[in-house]
C-alpha cells in the first residue's frame, strides 16, 4: 500500500493560529473538527487565519513537548462563507487594516458577500462611514495579495517545493505569478526568485513538458550561463556549456548543441571565438564586456594637452596643503593630469588615500568637477571622511532601481542622461564587476577622466568579470603600482603582516604585540567562547572598544566557527532577549530590536530618510550594515538604521537580511573596522586561501585578533588558489589598442 492511501483525513474550521512562519509557511493552528473536538495541526498553511475551513490529509504524531498533533501532508483550504465565519476571519487580523471594529462594520453591511466585495468591488467599502477611499483600497489590496499568495503557495507546495519561492514569485510577478508559473516553470530559476533548476524542472516535467522539449533544454542552457555568473564568469566555453547542460538534464550533448545553435540564431545567446575559446555569453554580459572594452580603449588613447605648468601646480598644492609630495605622488599627479584613464593599485599603508586626496586637489585646482564613488556604502563613507568631500555608492550615483516588472536593475543615468562631471574617482575598484563598470562608463561624459584605485591582491568581485585585474594586466592603460610602505605605517604589525601574507611568507603569529594578536585555540568550541568574551567583555572593558566598533569575520558561513553559529552566540551575549525588546521570528532566526543586521541583496526601491528628516532617498544595498531600531508586529514592519539612513521594511523583506555581528570575509570587502576578530578553523580549500586571509587582515584599522590554530593560518598562506574566470576584457582591450 502506498503512502497516500495510508493518510488519514480530518476537516473543520480554524479556531486560532498558535504560530506561523512567513518564510516557509510552517504553521501551528487549532482546528475545530466536524465532531466538535479541537485538535492541534502542524504543516504548511501560508496565510492561514481563523474562520477558514480545511480538509487536511496527514497522520497523528506525538510531540515530546506539545503532545498529540496532526501532521498535515496536503490540505484543501476554503475561505469562510457565512457572515459569522467571515467576521471571525477578518477580526483575527488576517487582513491588514481590519480589526474587530472594522470587521463588524463591513460584515454588517455586506454579510456573506463581504469577501467578494473586498476582492472585486472594493469601492463599495468606502460607502461605509469611517472607511475612506484610501483605506478601502488598502483593505482590498491586502486581501487580494493574501488570496493571490495563498493560491500560489498552495500550487507550489503541491509540487513539494519551498513556499518561499512562491512569496518571491508574487513579489515580482504580482497577480500574474500563478499563470506565468504554469506557462513557464523555469522562471523559478530567475535571479530574483532563487529557485534551483532541479526544482523548476521537476515541476515542468510533472506539468507535462517533454524531456526533449526545446523549451526545457533551452532553459537548462540559459540557467547554466546565469548560474555561472555567480562564479564570476562572463562566458562559458561552448564545449563545457554543452557538457554541463547535458549532465544537468540527463540528455546527450548533440541535443544540447542543436538547442545552443537555435538560441544563438534567435539572439538569446551570444557566440564569439575570443580569448582562445568558443565563447557563449548571455546577451547582457556580452554587451557589457564589449562596450567596456571599447570605452576603456578610447580612454587609454586620450591625452590632455593641458597648458598648465605641472611644477607650478604642484608647488601651489604643496603650499596650500602643507605637505611635500614624494616622487611617486608627483608621478601619479602627472599621469592624472595628462591621461583620461589612470589605474592605481597598492596594498595597505602604501598611500592610496594620499593619492586620492592629491588628485582631488589637483582637479579642483584645474576647475574640474569631480565625483567620488565606491562600490559599497561603507567604502563611500570612508572615502567621504578621508577626502572631506561627499562620496556615494556607484549604484546611488547612477540612480539604480528595479524596472517595472521588478526583475531587472536599470540605471536612470546613462547615455541619454549622463553624469554632470569632468572626472570620476572610483575607490575599491577591484570590487566592481563588468556589469556595474559598464553602467558607470555609459553614464560618464565622453571627455570625463576616470581614476580607479584599489588593491589588486584583494578578492575579486562577487559578480562576473575581473575588471581591475584585466586593466592592470592589459599593459595598454596607465598604471601606477604603489609598493613602498609609508613611514607612519611602518610600526603597524597589521600592515607588515598583511604584506608578508601577500608575498606568501609566514609571519610570527606567536608575537602578540602592537595591533596584531593571535589567541591560539585548538577546539572550535573554545574559539567560540573566546570570541564571545572578546566582544562582550575584554575589548569593551580593557581596551574601551565598544561592540559596535568590533567586527567578527569568518571565511565561511557553516560550522561552529561559521557566521551563522557565531551570530547566534553573539546575539545571546550582545543583545539578549528582554521585556523591553520586541522581536520577530523569521524562519529559524530571531530578529530583535538592537540587533546588528546586514542587507544581503540590493533593494533599489526602499525609501530611507536621515534621523533629522532633512534628507531622504531610495536604495539600501548588498553589504550595508545597520541596527534594528524598532519592530512593529501590528504593521508587520521592521525599522533599521544604516549609518544614519533609516529605512522601514515589511516582514517579508527579512529574507534579504541577516545578522552581522559576524560576517564572511567576502562580505567585508570595501569596509574597514576599528577592531577585527578573525575566526579560523580548517575548511574548504576553495575558501581557505591566501587572498581570503589577506583581505581579512587588511579590514582592521587599529586591532586584529586571530582566534584559532596557527596551522590554519599558515595553510591559508600556502594556498595560493585563484579560481579561473572566463572573461575576455583584457584580450579585447589589447586588440582594440593594437597590442595583438
Buried b (16+ CB within 10 A) or exposed e, 153-170: bbbbbeeebbbbbbbbbb
Question: pLDDT tens-digit profile of 91-112?
Answer: 876 787 788 889 899 999 999 9
Distance (Å, whole) CA 464 – CA 232: 4
Question: pLDDT tens-digit profile of 500-546?
Answer: 999 999 999 988 888 999 999 999 999 999 999 999 999 999 999 99
Q: Given the DSSP bridges, would you call strands 409-411 and 423-426 parallel, antiparallel or unpaired?
A: unpaired
Give the DSSP letter of residue 422: S
Per-block mean pLDDT, blocks of 10 residues, the chain (740 long): 63 86 75 90 80 86 79 79 85 78 91 89 89 88 78 77 74 80 86 81 90 92 91 95 95 94 95 92 96 96 78 84 84 93 93 90 92 91 87 91 68 94 96 96 97 92 93 95 76 92 93 92 94 96 93 94 96 93 86 95 84 81 91 87 90 88 93 94 87 94 94 93 89 90
Helix residue ranges, H only, 481-562? 493-502, 524-533, 539-542
Distance (Å, whole) CA 53 – CA 32: 9
Distance (Å, whole) CA 33 – CA 80: 15
Distance (Å, whole) CA 690 – CA 719: 6
pLDDT of residue 22: 64
Sequence-ordered list of residues with C-beta below 8 angstroms from that of 452, at least 6 positions apart, any chain? 341, 342, 343, 344, 426, 429, 468, 471
Distance (Å, whole) CA 139 – CA 158: 28
β-pair partners for 706: 518, 678
CA 4 to chain centroid, in Å, comes to 40
pLDDT of residue 77: 76
Contacts of 582-585 spanning 24+ positions with Cβ under 8 A? 582/630, 582/631, 582/632, 582/633, 583/631, 584/631, 584/633, 584/638, 584/651, 584/654, 585/21
**Could you tell me if 208 and 232 are in contact, meaning their C-beta atoms sit under 8 angstroms apart?**
no
Sequence-ordered list of residues with C-beta below 8 angstroms from that of 556, at least 6 positions apart, any chain? 562, 563, 664, 683, 684, 687
Helix residue ranges, H only, 266-309? 283-301
**Could you tell me if 522 and 632 are in contact, meaning their C-beta atoms sit under 8 angstroms apart?**
no
**Could you tell me if 365 and 313 are in contact, meaning their C-beta atoms sit under 8 angstroms apart?**
yes
pLDDT of residue 1: 36
Q: How far is residue 2 from each of residues 7, 454, 660, 662, measured CA to CA in Å?
A: 9, 62, 46, 47
Distance (Å, whole) CA 285 – CA 281: 6
Amino acid at each position: 500500500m502506498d503512502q497516500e492511501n495510508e493518510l488519514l483525513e480530518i476537516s473543520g474550521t480554524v479556531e486560532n493560529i498558535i504560530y506561523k512562519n512567513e518564510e516557509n509557511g510552517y504553521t501551528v493552528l487549532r482546528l475545530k473538527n466536524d465532531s466538535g473536538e479541537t485538535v492541534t495541526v502542524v504543516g504548511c498553511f501560508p496565510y492561514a487565519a481563523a474562520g477558514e475551513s480545511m480538509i487536511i490529509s496527514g497522520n497523528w504524531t506525538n510531540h515530546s513537548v506539545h503532545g498529540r498533533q496532526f501532521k498535515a501532508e496536503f490540505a484543501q483550504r476554503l475561505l469562510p462563507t457565512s457572515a459569522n465565519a467571515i467576521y471571525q476571519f477578518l477580526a483575527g487580523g488576517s487582513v491588514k487594516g481590519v480589526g474587530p471594529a472594522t470587521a463588524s462594520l463591513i460584515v454588517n453591511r455586506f454579510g456573506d458577500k463581504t469577501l467578494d466585495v473586498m476582492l472585486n468591488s472594493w469601492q463599495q467599502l468606502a460607502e461605509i462611514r469611517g472607511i475612506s477611499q484610501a483605506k478601502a483600497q488598502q483593505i482590498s489590496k491586502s486581501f487580494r495579495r493574501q488570496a493571490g499568495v495563498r493560491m500560489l503557495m498552495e500550487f507550489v507546495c503541491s509540487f513539494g517545493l519551498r513556499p518561499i519561492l512562491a512569496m518571491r514569485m508574487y513579489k515580482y510577478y504580482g497577480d500574474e505569478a500563478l499563470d506565468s508559473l504554469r506557462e513557464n516553470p523555469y522562471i523559478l530559476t530567475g535571479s530574483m526568485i532563487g529557485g534551483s533548476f532541479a526544482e523548476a524542472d521537476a515541476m515542468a516535467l510533472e506539468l507535462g513538458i517533454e524531456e526533449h522539449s526545446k523549451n526545457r533544454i533551452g532553459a537548462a542552457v540559459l540557467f547554466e550561463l546565469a548560474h555561472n555568473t555567480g562564479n564570476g564568469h562572463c562566458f562559458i566555453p561552448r564545449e563545457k556549456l554543452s557538457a554541463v547542460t547535458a549532465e544537468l538534464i540527463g540528455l546527450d550533448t548533440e541535443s544540447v548543441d542543436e538547442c545552443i545553435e537555435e538560441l544563438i540564431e534567435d539572439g538569446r545567446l551570444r557566440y564569439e571565438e575570443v580569448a582562445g575559446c568558443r565563447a557563449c555569453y548571455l546577451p547582457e554580459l556580452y554587451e557589457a564586456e564589449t562596450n567596456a572594452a571599447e570605452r576603456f580603449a578610447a580612454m587609454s588613447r586620450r591625452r590632455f594637452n593641458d597648458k598648465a605648468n605641472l611644477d607650478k601646480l604642484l608647488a601651489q598644492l604643496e603650499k596650500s596643503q602643507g605637505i611635500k609630495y614624494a616622487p611617486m605622488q608627483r608621478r601619479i599627479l602627472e599621469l592624472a593630469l595628462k591621461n583620461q584613464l589612470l589605474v592605481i593599485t597598492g596594498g595597505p599603508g602604501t598611500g592610496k588615500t594620499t593619492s586620492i586626496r592629491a588628485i582631488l586637489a589637483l582637479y579642483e585646482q584645474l576647475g574640474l568637477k569631480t565625483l567620488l564613488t565606491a562600490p559599497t556604502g561603507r567604502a563611500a563613507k570612508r572615502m567621504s571622511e578621508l577626502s572631506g568631500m561627499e562620496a556615494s555608492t556607484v549604484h546611488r550615483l547612477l540612480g539604480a532601481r528595479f524596472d517595472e516588472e521588478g526583475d531587472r536593475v536599470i540605471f536612470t543615468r546613462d547615455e541619454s542622461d549622463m553624469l554632470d562631471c569632468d572626472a570620476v574617482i572610483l575607490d575599491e575598484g577591484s570590487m566592481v564587476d563588468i556589469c556595474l563598470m559598464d553602467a558607470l562608463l555609459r553614464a560618464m561624459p565622453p571627455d570625463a577622466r576616470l581614476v580607479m584605485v584599489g588593491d589588486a591582491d584583494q578578492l575579486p568581485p562577487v559578480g562576473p568579470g575581473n575588471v581591475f585585474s584585466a586593466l592592470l594586466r592589459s599593459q595598454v592603460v596607465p598604471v601606477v603600482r604603489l609598493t613602498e610602505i609609508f613611514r607612519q605605517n611602518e610600526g603597524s604589525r597589521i600592515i607588515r603582516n598583511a604584506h608578508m601574507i601577500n608575498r606568501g611568507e609566514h609571519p610570527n603569529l606567536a608575537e602578540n604585540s602592537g595591533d596584531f594578536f593571535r589567541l591560539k585555540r585548538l577546539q572550535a568550541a573554545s574559539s567560540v567562547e573566546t570570541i564571545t568574551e572578546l566582544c562582550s567583555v575584554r575589548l569593551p572593558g580593557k581596551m574601551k572598544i565598544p561592540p559596535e566598533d568590533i567586527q567578527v569575520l569568518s571565511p565561511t558561513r557553516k560550522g561552529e566557527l561559521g557566521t551563522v553559529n557565531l551570530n547566534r552566540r553573539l546575539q545571546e551575549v550582545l543583545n539578549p532577549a528582554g521585556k523591553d525588546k520586541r522581536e520577530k521570528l523569521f524562519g529559524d532566526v530571531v530578529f530583535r530590536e538592537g540587533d546588528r543586521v546586514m542587507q544581503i541583496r540590493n533593494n533599489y526601491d526602499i525609501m530611507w530618510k536621515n534621523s533629522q528628516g532633512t534628507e531622504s532617498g531610495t536604495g539600501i544595498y548588498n553589504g550595508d550594515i545597520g541596527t534594528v531600531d524598532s519592530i512593529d508586529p501590528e504593521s508587520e514592519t521592521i525599522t533599521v538604521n544604516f549609518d544614519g539612513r533609516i529605512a522601514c521594511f515589511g516582514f517579508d523583506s527579512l529574507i534579504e537580511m541577516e545578522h552581522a555581528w559576524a560576517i564572511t570575509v567576502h562580505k567585508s570587502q570595501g569596509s574597514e573596522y576599528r577592531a577585527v576578530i578573525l575566526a579560523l578553523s580548517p575548511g574548504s580549500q576553495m575558501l581557505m586561501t591566501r587572498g581570503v586571509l589577506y583581505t581579512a587582515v587588511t579590514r582592521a584599522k587599529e586591532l586584529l585578533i586571530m582566534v584559532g590554530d596557527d596551522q590554519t593560518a599558515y595553510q591559508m598562506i600556502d594556498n595560493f588558489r585563484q579560481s579561473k574566470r572566463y572573461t575576455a576584457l583584457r584580450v579585447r582591450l589589447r586588440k582594440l589598442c593594437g597590442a595583438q
